[in-house]
Chain A
Amino acid sequence: MIKINNLDFAYKNTQVFKNISLEFPKGNIYGLLGENGVGKTTLLKLICGLQKPQHGSVTVDGLIPSERQPQFLQNVYFLPEEVITEDTTPEKFVQKIGVFYPRYDFALFNQLMKELEVDLSKKFNELSHGQKKKALLACAMSLQTDYLFLDEPTNGLDIPSKALFRKVISQYCSDDTTVIISTHQVKDVENLIDPIVILDRDDVLLNASFAEIIDKVYFEYGPERLQNAYYTEMLPGGYINVMPNTEHLESNVNIEALFNAVMKNKETIKNLMK
Protein backbone atom coordinates (compact mmCIF):
# COMPACT_ATOMS: atom_id res chain seq x y z
CA MET A 1 0.00 0.00 0.00
CA ILE A 2 1.19 3.50 -0.83
CA LYS A 3 0.66 6.04 1.94
CA ILE A 4 1.23 9.74 1.55
CA ASN A 5 0.91 11.82 4.69
CA ASN A 6 0.94 15.62 4.94
CA LEU A 7 3.22 15.88 1.97
CA ASP A 8 4.82 19.20 1.10
CA PHE A 9 6.93 19.51 -2.00
CA ALA A 10 8.30 22.46 -3.95
CA TYR A 11 10.77 22.99 -6.79
CA LYS A 12 12.82 26.02 -5.75
CA ASN A 13 10.07 28.69 -5.48
CA THR A 14 7.26 26.68 -7.05
CA GLN A 15 5.04 24.92 -4.55
CA VAL A 16 3.73 21.67 -6.03
CA PHE A 17 2.07 19.95 -3.07
CA LYS A 18 0.97 21.48 0.19
CA ASN A 19 -0.04 19.17 3.00
CA ILE A 20 -1.63 16.49 0.84
CA SER A 21 -2.55 13.05 2.13
CA LEU A 22 -3.46 10.11 -0.07
CA GLU A 23 -3.62 6.34 0.06
CA PHE A 24 -3.34 3.86 -2.78
CA PRO A 25 -4.46 0.42 -1.56
CA LYS A 26 -2.92 -2.52 -3.42
CA GLY A 27 -4.28 -4.24 -6.48
CA ASN A 28 -5.90 -1.44 -8.46
CA ILE A 29 -5.23 0.40 -11.68
CA TYR A 30 -5.29 4.05 -10.64
CA GLY A 31 -5.82 6.91 -13.02
CA LEU A 32 -3.85 9.93 -11.90
CA LEU A 33 -5.47 12.81 -13.70
CA GLY A 34 -4.88 16.53 -13.72
CA GLU A 35 -4.11 19.47 -15.92
CA ASN A 36 -0.60 20.00 -17.24
CA GLY A 37 1.82 21.09 -14.55
CA VAL A 38 -0.20 20.11 -11.48
CA GLY A 39 2.42 17.61 -10.34
CA LYS A 40 1.34 14.21 -11.66
CA THR A 41 4.88 13.27 -12.68
CA THR A 42 6.28 14.76 -9.47
CA LEU A 43 3.91 12.63 -7.40
CA LEU A 44 5.06 9.50 -9.26
CA LYS A 45 8.69 10.52 -8.74
CA LEU A 46 8.06 11.00 -5.02
CA ILE A 47 6.48 7.54 -4.81
CA CYS A 48 9.43 6.05 -6.72
CA GLY A 49 12.03 7.78 -4.54
CA LEU A 50 13.39 9.91 -7.36
CA GLN A 51 12.44 12.97 -5.33
CA LYS A 52 12.33 13.45 -1.57
CA PRO A 53 9.46 15.12 0.31
CA GLN A 54 10.39 18.38 2.02
CA HIS A 55 7.82 17.70 4.68
CA GLY A 56 5.54 14.77 5.47
CA SER A 57 6.09 11.21 4.39
CA VAL A 58 5.69 8.78 1.52
CA THR A 59 5.82 5.04 2.22
CA VAL A 60 5.35 2.04 -0.03
CA ASP A 61 4.61 -1.16 1.89
CA GLY A 62 6.20 0.53 4.90
CA LEU A 63 9.43 1.34 3.05
CA ILE A 64 10.66 4.88 2.42
CA PRO A 65 11.17 5.28 -1.34
CA SER A 66 13.80 8.04 -1.13
CA GLU A 67 16.13 5.61 0.70
CA ARG A 68 16.22 3.60 -2.54
CA GLN A 69 16.77 0.28 -0.84
CA PRO A 70 16.99 -2.75 -3.15
CA GLN A 71 14.04 -4.33 -1.30
CA PHE A 72 11.91 -1.38 -2.43
CA LEU A 73 13.42 -0.92 -5.89
CA GLN A 74 12.91 -4.56 -6.94
CA ASN A 75 9.17 -4.15 -6.41
CA VAL A 76 8.62 -0.97 -8.40
CA TYR A 77 9.10 0.10 -11.99
CA PHE A 78 8.66 3.60 -13.35
CA LEU A 79 8.15 4.14 -17.06
CA PRO A 80 8.71 7.85 -17.73
CA GLU A 81 6.85 9.83 -20.36
CA GLU A 82 9.94 10.50 -22.38
CA VAL A 83 11.21 7.52 -24.31
CA ILE A 84 14.80 6.93 -23.30
CA THR A 85 16.44 3.90 -24.78
CA GLU A 86 19.86 2.34 -25.13
CA ASP A 87 21.65 1.38 -28.31
CA THR A 88 20.49 -2.21 -28.08
CA THR A 89 17.49 -4.42 -28.78
CA PRO A 90 14.57 -4.45 -26.33
CA GLU A 91 15.39 -8.13 -25.76
CA LYS A 92 18.96 -7.44 -24.64
CA PHE A 93 17.81 -4.46 -22.59
CA VAL A 94 15.24 -6.47 -20.65
CA GLN A 95 17.71 -9.32 -20.12
CA LYS A 96 20.21 -6.85 -18.68
CA ILE A 97 17.82 -5.34 -16.14
CA GLY A 98 15.54 -8.35 -15.65
CA VAL A 99 18.06 -10.22 -13.49
CA PHE A 100 17.49 -7.66 -10.73
CA TYR A 101 13.76 -8.37 -10.48
CA PRO A 102 12.73 -11.59 -8.70
CA ARG A 103 9.59 -12.26 -10.78
CA TYR A 104 10.99 -11.22 -14.18
CA ASP A 105 9.59 -13.46 -16.92
CA PHE A 106 11.31 -13.47 -20.31
CA ALA A 107 8.59 -15.62 -21.88
CA LEU A 108 6.05 -12.99 -20.83
CA PHE A 109 8.22 -10.31 -22.44
CA ASN A 110 8.20 -12.20 -25.76
CA GLN A 111 4.46 -12.72 -25.52
CA LEU A 112 3.84 -9.02 -24.80
CA MET A 113 6.09 -7.94 -27.67
CA LYS A 114 4.04 -10.19 -29.93
CA GLU A 115 0.73 -8.87 -28.60
CA LEU A 116 1.91 -5.28 -28.94
CA GLU A 117 3.16 -6.03 -32.45
CA VAL A 118 6.74 -4.90 -31.91
CA ASP A 119 9.53 -6.34 -34.05
CA LEU A 120 11.82 -8.33 -31.74
CA SER A 121 14.82 -8.25 -34.05
CA LYS A 122 15.15 -4.46 -34.26
CA LYS A 123 17.21 -2.20 -32.05
CA PHE A 124 15.45 0.58 -30.15
CA ASN A 125 16.81 3.25 -32.49
CA GLU A 126 15.34 1.40 -35.48
CA LEU A 127 11.86 1.51 -33.98
CA SER A 128 9.33 4.35 -34.27
CA HIS A 129 8.43 6.41 -31.20
CA GLY A 130 5.24 4.44 -30.62
CA GLN A 131 7.03 1.11 -31.14
CA LYS A 132 9.71 2.12 -28.63
CA LYS A 133 7.04 3.03 -26.13
CA LYS A 134 5.32 -0.33 -26.60
CA ALA A 135 8.64 -2.20 -26.32
CA LEU A 136 9.40 -0.40 -23.05
CA LEU A 137 5.92 -1.23 -21.80
CA ALA A 138 6.56 -4.91 -22.59
CA CYS A 139 9.88 -4.69 -20.70
CA ALA A 140 8.20 -3.01 -17.72
CA MET A 141 5.35 -5.51 -17.52
CA SER A 142 7.61 -8.56 -17.90
CA LEU A 143 9.43 -7.51 -14.70
CA GLN A 144 6.17 -8.24 -12.83
CA THR A 145 6.82 -5.76 -10.06
CA ASP A 146 4.19 -5.13 -7.39
CA TYR A 147 3.99 -1.47 -8.41
CA LEU A 148 4.05 -0.16 -11.94
CA PHE A 149 4.05 3.58 -12.57
CA LEU A 150 3.27 4.77 -16.06
CA ASP A 151 3.70 8.44 -16.90
CA GLU A 152 1.61 9.50 -19.90
CA PRO A 153 1.93 6.03 -21.43
CA THR A 154 -0.39 6.68 -24.38
CA ASN A 155 1.39 9.81 -25.61
CA GLY A 156 2.65 9.13 -29.11
CA LEU A 157 0.66 5.93 -29.57
CA ASP A 158 -1.63 5.57 -32.56
CA ILE A 159 -5.28 4.57 -32.07
CA PRO A 160 -4.79 0.78 -32.53
CA SER A 161 -1.80 0.92 -30.17
CA LYS A 162 -3.86 2.68 -27.51
CA ALA A 163 -6.36 -0.15 -27.70
CA LEU A 164 -3.53 -2.69 -27.45
CA PHE A 165 -2.15 -0.80 -24.47
CA ARG A 166 -5.48 -1.02 -22.64
CA LYS A 167 -5.75 -4.69 -23.54
CA VAL A 168 -2.33 -5.73 -22.22
CA ILE A 169 -2.64 -3.68 -19.04
CA SER A 170 -6.00 -5.18 -18.16
CA GLN A 171 -5.03 -8.69 -19.28
CA TYR A 172 -1.53 -9.10 -17.89
CA CYS A 173 -1.56 -7.15 -14.64
CA SER A 174 -2.17 -9.56 -11.80
CA ASP A 175 -4.67 -8.84 -9.03
CA ASP A 176 -1.80 -7.99 -6.67
CA THR A 177 -0.24 -5.43 -8.99
CA THR A 178 -0.83 -1.76 -8.34
CA VAL A 179 -0.63 0.35 -11.47
CA ILE A 180 -0.73 4.13 -11.41
CA ILE A 181 -1.28 5.68 -14.80
CA SER A 182 -0.64 9.39 -14.97
CA THR A 183 -2.32 11.02 -17.92
CA HIS A 184 -4.14 14.08 -19.13
CA GLN A 185 -5.65 12.11 -22.01
CA VAL A 186 -8.51 10.65 -20.03
CA LYS A 187 -10.23 8.96 -22.96
CA ASP A 188 -7.20 6.75 -23.52
CA VAL A 189 -7.62 5.10 -20.14
CA GLU A 190 -11.41 4.88 -20.07
CA ASN A 191 -12.63 1.42 -19.02
CA LEU A 192 -9.17 0.67 -17.66
CA ILE A 193 -8.68 2.76 -14.55
CA ASP A 194 -10.52 2.51 -11.27
CA PRO A 195 -10.16 4.40 -8.88
CA ILE A 196 -9.51 7.92 -10.12
CA VAL A 197 -7.29 10.50 -8.48
CA ILE A 198 -7.60 14.07 -9.70
CA LEU A 199 -4.86 16.47 -8.73
CA ASP A 200 -5.01 20.22 -8.68
CA ARG A 201 -2.28 22.72 -7.85
CA ASP A 202 -1.34 22.07 -4.21
CA ASP A 203 -4.33 19.82 -3.69
CA VAL A 204 -6.08 16.48 -4.32
CA LEU A 205 -9.56 17.13 -5.64
CA LEU A 206 -10.78 13.56 -5.93
CA ASN A 207 -9.63 10.11 -4.88
CA ALA A 208 -12.49 7.71 -5.35
CA SER A 209 -13.47 4.45 -6.97
CA PHE A 210 -16.10 4.29 -9.71
CA ALA A 211 -18.55 2.80 -7.21
CA GLU A 212 -18.04 5.75 -4.87
CA ILE A 213 -18.33 8.22 -7.75
CA ILE A 214 -21.60 6.86 -9.17
CA ASP A 215 -23.01 6.72 -5.69
CA LYS A 216 -22.68 10.48 -5.45
CA VAL A 217 -22.63 11.68 -9.03
CA TYR A 218 -25.10 10.89 -11.79
CA PHE A 219 -24.19 11.04 -15.47
CA GLU A 220 -27.29 11.84 -17.45
CA TYR A 221 -27.39 11.64 -21.23
CA GLY A 222 -30.37 13.58 -22.56
CA PRO A 223 -31.67 16.04 -25.09
CA GLU A 224 -31.32 19.11 -22.87
CA ARG A 225 -28.94 21.04 -20.67
CA LEU A 226 -29.96 20.72 -17.01
CA GLN A 227 -29.78 23.71 -14.71
CA ASN A 228 -28.57 21.97 -11.55
CA ALA A 229 -25.76 20.06 -13.33
CA TYR A 230 -22.18 20.45 -12.12
CA TYR A 231 -21.15 20.32 -15.72
CA THR A 232 -22.85 19.98 -19.06
CA GLU A 233 -21.30 19.15 -22.37
CA MET A 234 -22.80 18.91 -25.80
CA LEU A 235 -22.40 15.51 -27.42
CA PRO A 236 -23.58 14.30 -30.81
CA GLY A 237 -27.31 13.77 -30.33
CA GLY A 238 -27.70 15.58 -27.03
CA TYR A 239 -26.00 16.53 -23.79
CA ILE A 240 -24.18 14.85 -20.97
CA ASN A 241 -25.04 16.34 -17.60
CA VAL A 242 -22.96 15.59 -14.52
CA MET A 243 -25.45 15.83 -11.67
CA PRO A 244 -25.58 15.28 -7.93
CA ASN A 245 -26.93 11.73 -7.45
CA THR A 246 -29.54 12.50 -4.84
CA GLU A 247 -31.83 9.64 -5.86
CA HIS A 248 -29.07 6.98 -6.03
CA LEU A 249 -29.61 6.29 -9.70
CA GLU A 250 -27.18 4.08 -11.61
CA SER A 251 -25.12 5.48 -14.48
CA ASN A 252 -21.85 4.96 -16.29
CA VAL A 253 -18.92 7.18 -15.43
CA ASN A 254 -17.74 9.42 -18.22
CA ILE A 255 -14.23 10.25 -17.09
CA GLU A 256 -13.80 13.29 -19.31
CA ALA A 257 -17.09 14.82 -18.16
CA LEU A 258 -16.27 13.95 -14.55
CA PHE A 259 -12.85 15.57 -14.86
CA ASN A 260 -14.34 18.74 -16.30
CA ALA A 261 -17.04 18.77 -13.63
CA VAL A 262 -14.42 18.47 -10.91
CA MET A 263 -12.31 21.24 -12.41
CA LYS A 264 -15.35 23.55 -12.58
CA ASN A 265 -16.65 22.75 -9.08
CA LYS A 266 -13.49 22.01 -7.13
CA GLU A 267 -14.66 22.63 -3.59
CA THR A 268 -18.22 21.35 -4.15
CA ILE A 269 -17.15 17.97 -5.50
CA LYS A 270 -14.26 17.70 -3.05
CA ASN A 271 -16.71 18.12 -0.18
CA LEU A 272 -19.27 15.85 -1.83
CA MET A 273 -16.79 12.96 -2.12
CA LYS A 274 -15.46 13.27 1.44
Chain B
Amino acid sequence: MSVGGGETAEGLAAALGRRLRERDLAAAPAALNLIEDRSLAGRAAAAALLAEVSPAALGGEAPAHLVGVTGPPGAGKSSLLSELVSVWRAGGRTVAVLAVDPSSKRSGGSLLGDRARIDHDPADGGVLIRSTATAGRLGGLAAPTRAAAQALASAFDVVVVETVGVGQSETEVEELCDTVAVVVQPGSGDTLQFLKAGIMEVPDMLVVTKSDFGDVARHARRDLEGALRSLGAGRTPVLAVSSLSPTQGIDELVAGIDAHRAELDVHSTRTRARRLAALSEFAAERGERGVRELGGRRAAERMLAELDPALEIPALVAALESPGRGGR
Protein backbone atom coordinates (compact mmCIF):
# COMPACT_ATOMS: atom_id res chain seq x y z
CA MET B 1 0.00 0.00 0.00
CA SER B 2 1.08 3.54 -0.39
CA VAL B 3 1.62 5.51 2.75
CA GLY B 4 2.58 8.73 1.09
CA GLY B 5 5.63 10.12 -0.64
CA GLY B 6 8.32 7.77 0.51
CA GLU B 7 7.85 8.57 4.17
CA THR B 8 9.14 6.06 6.66
CA ALA B 9 6.92 4.37 9.20
CA GLU B 10 8.75 6.27 11.92
CA GLY B 11 8.11 9.55 10.15
CA LEU B 12 4.41 8.83 9.95
CA ALA B 13 4.35 7.69 13.56
CA ALA B 14 6.02 10.90 14.65
CA ALA B 15 3.40 12.83 12.70
CA LEU B 16 0.70 11.01 14.66
CA GLY B 17 2.47 11.95 17.88
CA ARG B 18 2.56 15.58 16.83
CA ARG B 19 -1.15 15.49 16.06
CA LEU B 20 -1.83 14.18 19.55
CA ARG B 21 0.35 16.92 21.00
CA GLU B 22 -1.79 19.42 19.13
CA ARG B 23 -4.80 17.78 20.77
CA ASP B 24 -6.12 16.27 17.54
CA LEU B 25 -8.24 13.54 19.15
CA ALA B 26 -8.96 11.85 15.81
CA ALA B 27 -5.32 10.72 15.75
CA ALA B 28 -5.79 8.65 18.90
CA PRO B 29 -7.13 5.34 17.49
CA ALA B 30 -4.31 5.01 14.95
CA ALA B 31 -1.78 5.98 17.63
CA LEU B 32 -3.13 3.20 19.83
CA ASN B 33 -2.98 0.65 16.99
CA LEU B 34 0.67 1.48 16.68
CA ILE B 35 1.45 1.39 20.39
CA GLU B 36 -0.17 -2.07 20.63
CA ASP B 37 1.88 -3.36 17.68
CA ARG B 38 4.49 -5.73 19.06
CA SER B 39 6.41 -6.35 15.83
CA LEU B 40 9.91 -4.87 15.58
CA ALA B 41 8.80 -2.31 13.02
CA GLY B 42 5.83 -1.46 15.20
CA ARG B 43 7.97 -0.90 18.26
CA ALA B 44 10.36 1.38 16.46
CA ALA B 45 7.43 3.40 15.14
CA ALA B 46 5.83 3.53 18.59
CA ALA B 47 9.05 4.88 20.06
CA ALA B 48 9.08 7.65 17.45
CA LEU B 49 5.47 8.47 18.33
CA LEU B 50 6.11 8.48 22.07
CA ALA B 51 9.10 10.77 21.69
CA GLU B 52 6.74 13.41 20.27
CA VAL B 53 4.54 13.31 23.38
CA SER B 54 7.36 13.11 25.92
CA PRO B 55 7.75 15.81 28.60
CA ALA B 56 10.72 17.11 26.64
CA ALA B 57 8.64 17.55 23.51
CA LEU B 58 5.69 18.90 25.47
CA GLY B 59 7.80 21.23 27.57
CA GLY B 60 6.48 19.66 30.78
CA GLU B 61 4.28 16.84 31.99
CA ALA B 62 1.34 15.83 29.83
CA PRO B 63 -1.65 17.88 30.93
CA ALA B 64 -4.23 15.12 31.43
CA HIS B 65 -5.37 13.90 34.79
CA LEU B 66 -4.57 10.15 34.88
CA VAL B 67 -7.32 8.49 36.91
CA GLY B 68 -7.27 4.80 37.86
CA VAL B 69 -10.59 3.07 38.53
CA THR B 70 -10.21 -0.45 39.82
CA GLY B 71 -12.20 -3.01 41.75
CA PRO B 72 -13.63 -6.54 41.64
CA PRO B 73 -15.92 -7.72 38.82
CA GLY B 74 -19.52 -6.61 39.33
CA ALA B 75 -18.64 -3.77 41.69
CA GLY B 76 -20.22 -1.26 39.32
CA LYS B 77 -17.10 0.30 37.75
CA SER B 78 -18.57 0.71 34.29
CA SER B 79 -21.86 2.20 35.48
CA LEU B 80 -19.85 4.59 37.63
CA LEU B 81 -17.67 5.49 34.65
CA SER B 82 -20.78 6.23 32.58
CA GLU B 83 -21.73 8.87 35.12
CA LEU B 84 -18.20 10.24 35.51
CA VAL B 85 -17.76 10.55 31.75
CA SER B 86 -21.03 12.43 31.47
CA VAL B 87 -20.09 14.89 34.26
CA TRP B 88 -16.62 15.46 32.79
CA ARG B 89 -18.05 16.01 29.31
CA ALA B 90 -20.70 18.37 30.64
CA GLY B 91 -17.84 20.38 32.14
CA GLY B 92 -16.12 20.53 28.76
CA ARG B 93 -13.35 18.05 29.53
CA THR B 94 -12.35 15.45 26.94
CA VAL B 95 -12.06 11.88 28.23
CA ALA B 96 -10.22 8.72 27.15
CA VAL B 97 -10.98 5.42 28.86
CA LEU B 98 -8.52 2.53 28.64
CA ALA B 99 -10.54 -0.50 29.75
CA VAL B 100 -8.37 -3.48 30.60
CA ASP B 101 -9.98 -6.94 30.71
CA PRO B 102 -8.48 -10.32 31.57
CA SER B 103 -7.85 -12.77 28.71
CA SER B 104 -8.73 -16.43 28.55
CA LYS B 105 -5.70 -18.43 29.66
CA ARG B 106 -6.43 -21.26 27.30
CA SER B 107 -7.20 -19.56 23.99
CA GLY B 108 -5.43 -16.23 24.49
CA GLY B 109 -8.63 -14.57 23.28
CA SER B 110 -10.82 -12.27 25.28
CA LEU B 111 -14.31 -10.83 25.44
CA LEU B 112 -14.12 -7.10 25.91
CA GLY B 113 -17.48 -5.99 27.24
CA ASP B 114 -16.87 -2.81 29.21
CA ARG B 115 -17.45 -0.51 26.30
CA ALA B 116 -21.09 -1.63 26.22
CA ARG B 117 -21.67 -0.54 29.78
CA ILE B 118 -20.21 2.94 29.45
CA ASP B 119 -22.96 5.20 28.12
CA HIS B 120 -21.70 7.73 25.64
CA ASP B 121 -22.84 9.63 22.61
CA PRO B 122 -21.24 8.10 19.51
CA ALA B 123 -21.33 11.50 17.80
CA ASP B 124 -19.21 13.03 20.57
CA GLY B 125 -15.61 13.15 19.41
CA GLY B 126 -14.51 14.14 22.90
CA VAL B 127 -14.82 10.61 24.29
CA LEU B 128 -12.59 7.69 23.36
CA ILE B 129 -13.01 4.18 24.76
CA ARG B 130 -10.43 1.55 24.01
CA SER B 131 -10.56 -2.00 25.34
CA THR B 132 -7.48 -4.14 25.71
CA ALA B 133 -6.84 -7.59 27.08
CA THR B 134 -4.16 -8.43 29.64
CA ALA B 135 -2.97 -11.29 27.42
CA GLY B 136 -2.03 -13.29 30.49
CA ARG B 137 0.04 -10.53 32.11
CA LEU B 138 -0.22 -10.19 35.87
CA GLY B 139 -0.28 -6.85 37.62
CA GLY B 140 -3.56 -5.51 36.26
CA LEU B 141 -2.47 -3.73 33.07
CA ALA B 142 -2.10 -4.88 29.50
CA ALA B 143 1.38 -4.61 28.04
CA PRO B 144 0.73 -1.40 26.06
CA THR B 145 -1.40 0.37 28.70
CA ARG B 146 1.31 2.57 30.18
CA ALA B 147 2.50 3.83 26.83
CA ALA B 148 -1.09 4.26 25.67
CA ALA B 149 -1.97 6.32 28.74
CA GLN B 150 1.11 8.44 28.25
CA ALA B 151 0.31 9.16 24.62
CA LEU B 152 -3.34 9.95 25.29
CA ALA B 153 -2.41 12.18 28.23
CA SER B 154 -0.97 14.71 25.81
CA ALA B 155 -4.29 15.03 23.97
CA PHE B 156 -7.15 14.42 26.42
CA ASP B 157 -8.08 16.25 29.62
CA VAL B 158 -8.83 13.06 31.55
CA VAL B 159 -7.40 9.59 30.88
CA VAL B 160 -9.05 6.80 32.85
CA VAL B 161 -7.43 3.41 33.27
CA GLU B 162 -10.05 0.86 34.30
CA THR B 163 -8.85 -2.50 35.59
CA VAL B 164 -10.44 -5.54 37.16
CA GLY B 165 -9.22 -6.96 40.42
CA VAL B 166 -8.82 -6.70 44.11
CA GLY B 167 -5.76 -7.25 46.26
CA GLN B 168 -2.38 -6.83 44.64
CA SER B 169 -3.54 -6.52 41.07
CA GLU B 170 -3.93 -2.76 41.31
CA THR B 171 -0.23 -2.14 41.98
CA GLU B 172 0.48 -1.16 38.40
CA VAL B 173 -2.52 1.15 38.15
CA GLU B 174 -1.34 2.85 41.28
CA GLU B 175 2.15 3.29 39.75
CA LEU B 176 0.75 4.69 36.52
CA CYS B 177 -2.04 7.01 37.63
CA ASP B 178 -2.17 10.34 39.44
CA THR B 179 -5.29 9.37 41.36
CA VAL B 180 -6.60 5.90 42.01
CA ALA B 181 -10.13 5.12 43.16
CA VAL B 182 -10.88 1.59 44.34
CA VAL B 183 -14.52 0.69 43.76
CA VAL B 184 -16.19 -1.43 46.41
CA GLN B 185 -19.54 -3.17 46.20
CA PRO B 186 -21.46 -3.12 49.47
CA GLY B 187 -21.94 -6.51 51.06
CA SER B 188 -18.71 -7.94 49.70
CA GLY B 189 -15.98 -7.93 52.33
CA ASP B 190 -12.96 -8.65 50.11
CA THR B 191 -11.59 -5.14 49.93
CA LEU B 192 -12.04 -4.66 53.64
CA GLN B 193 -10.18 -7.90 54.42
CA PHE B 194 -7.36 -7.12 51.99
CA LEU B 195 -6.95 -3.64 53.45
CA LYS B 196 -6.87 -4.91 57.02
CA ALA B 197 -4.41 -7.66 56.17
CA GLY B 198 -2.13 -5.23 54.41
CA ILE B 199 -2.32 -7.24 51.16
CA MET B 200 -3.59 -4.16 49.42
CA GLU B 201 -2.09 -0.70 49.61
CA VAL B 202 -4.28 2.16 50.77
CA PRO B 203 -5.64 3.80 47.61
CA ASP B 204 -6.19 7.53 47.10
CA MET B 205 -9.90 7.06 47.62
CA LEU B 206 -12.49 4.35 48.11
CA VAL B 207 -15.84 4.48 46.38
CA VAL B 208 -18.77 2.46 47.73
CA THR B 209 -21.23 1.88 44.90
CA LYS B 210 -24.94 1.08 44.98
CA SER B 211 -25.63 3.49 47.84
CA ASP B 212 -29.29 2.99 46.90
CA PHE B 213 -28.94 -0.32 48.78
CA GLY B 214 -29.34 1.74 51.99
CA ASP B 215 -28.13 0.07 55.17
CA VAL B 216 -25.80 -2.39 53.45
CA ALA B 217 -24.01 0.49 51.73
CA ARG B 218 -23.86 2.55 54.92
CA HIS B 219 -22.34 -0.42 56.81
CA ALA B 220 -19.77 -0.99 54.07
CA ARG B 221 -18.74 2.66 54.21
CA ARG B 222 -18.49 2.68 58.01
CA ASP B 223 -16.42 -0.54 58.07
CA LEU B 224 -13.99 0.81 55.47
CA GLU B 225 -13.58 4.08 57.37
CA GLY B 226 -12.88 2.12 60.54
CA ALA B 227 -10.25 0.00 58.79
CA LEU B 228 -8.57 3.08 57.29
CA ARG B 229 -8.40 4.77 60.72
CA SER B 230 -6.79 1.72 62.26
CA LEU B 231 -4.21 1.77 59.46
CA GLY B 232 -3.48 5.42 60.21
CA ALA B 233 -5.08 6.53 56.95
CA GLY B 234 -8.16 8.18 58.39
CA ARG B 235 -7.91 11.05 55.91
CA THR B 236 -8.42 8.80 52.90
CA PRO B 237 -11.86 9.67 51.57
CA VAL B 238 -14.58 7.02 51.40
CA LEU B 239 -17.38 8.17 49.11
CA ALA B 240 -20.79 6.61 48.55
CA VAL B 241 -22.34 6.79 45.09
CA SER B 242 -25.32 5.44 43.20
CA SER B 243 -25.16 5.25 39.42
CA LEU B 244 -28.85 4.46 39.19
CA SER B 245 -31.21 7.26 38.21
CA PRO B 246 -31.46 9.52 40.19
CA THR B 247 -27.72 9.30 40.75
CA GLN B 248 -26.14 10.19 44.06
CA GLY B 249 -22.66 11.31 45.03
CA ILE B 250 -21.21 11.61 41.50
CA ASP B 251 -20.50 15.36 41.70
CA GLU B 252 -18.86 14.85 45.09
CA LEU B 253 -16.69 12.10 43.62
CA VAL B 254 -15.60 14.30 40.71
CA ALA B 255 -14.76 17.07 43.17
CA GLY B 256 -12.83 14.55 45.32
CA ILE B 257 -10.82 13.34 42.33
CA ASP B 258 -10.00 16.93 41.37
CA ALA B 259 -9.04 17.80 44.96
CA HIS B 260 -6.60 14.90 45.08
CA ARG B 261 -4.94 16.05 41.87
CA ALA B 262 -4.73 19.65 43.13
CA GLU B 263 -2.58 18.56 46.07
CA LEU B 264 -0.38 16.28 43.98
CA ASP B 265 3.18 16.92 42.82
CA VAL B 266 2.45 15.78 39.28
CA HIS B 267 6.01 15.97 38.05
CA SER B 268 7.44 13.64 40.66
CA THR B 269 4.45 11.27 40.40
CA ARG B 270 4.91 10.99 36.64
CA THR B 271 8.69 10.67 36.92
CA ARG B 272 8.24 7.76 39.29
CA ALA B 273 5.61 6.27 36.97
CA ARG B 274 7.98 6.41 33.99
CA ARG B 275 10.81 4.83 35.93
CA LEU B 276 8.67 1.98 37.23
CA ALA B 277 7.23 1.46 33.77
CA ALA B 278 10.71 1.22 32.29
CA LEU B 279 11.72 -1.28 34.93
CA SER B 280 8.60 -3.34 34.29
CA GLU B 281 9.24 -3.32 30.55
CA PHE B 282 12.88 -4.24 31.08
CA ALA B 283 11.87 -7.13 33.37
CA ALA B 284 9.31 -8.33 30.83
CA GLU B 285 11.98 -8.38 28.10
CA ARG B 286 14.97 -9.63 30.08
CA GLY B 287 13.30 -11.57 32.86
CA GLU B 288 14.40 -11.93 36.45
CA ARG B 289 17.93 -12.71 35.34
CA GLY B 290 18.23 -9.33 33.66
CA VAL B 291 17.05 -7.62 36.86
CA ARG B 292 19.56 -9.61 38.93
CA GLU B 293 22.36 -8.56 36.61
CA LEU B 294 21.53 -4.96 37.50
CA GLY B 295 21.99 -5.87 41.16
CA GLY B 296 18.32 -6.52 41.86
CA ARG B 297 15.17 -4.46 41.80
CA ARG B 298 16.18 -1.98 44.50
CA ALA B 299 19.48 -1.22 42.83
CA ALA B 300 17.74 -0.76 39.49
CA GLU B 301 15.27 1.67 41.08
CA ARG B 302 18.19 3.61 42.65
CA MET B 303 19.92 3.74 39.31
CA LEU B 304 16.79 5.06 37.60
CA ALA B 305 16.35 7.66 40.34
CA GLU B 306 19.64 9.23 39.38
CA LEU B 307 18.70 9.70 35.73
CA ASP B 308 17.27 12.83 34.14
CA PRO B 309 13.61 13.11 35.34
CA ALA B 310 12.50 14.17 31.86
CA LEU B 311 13.68 10.94 30.19
CA GLU B 312 11.10 8.91 28.31
CA ILE B 313 10.36 5.26 28.96
CA PRO B 314 12.27 3.98 25.89
CA ALA B 315 15.33 6.02 26.96
CA LEU B 316 15.03 4.70 30.48
CA VAL B 317 14.79 1.13 29.21
CA ALA B 318 17.83 1.77 27.04
CA ALA B 319 19.66 3.04 30.09
CA LEU B 320 18.81 -0.14 31.98
CA GLU B 321 19.96 -2.23 29.03
CA SER B 322 23.38 -0.57 28.88
CA PRO B 323 23.90 0.66 32.45
CA GLY B 324 27.37 2.04 31.81
CA ARG B 325 26.17 4.81 29.52
CA GLY B 326 24.02 6.58 32.07
CA GLY B 327 21.40 9.06 31.01
CA ARG B 328 22.83 9.99 27.61
Same complex for A and B? Answer: no
- A residues near B (Cβ < 8 Å) are none
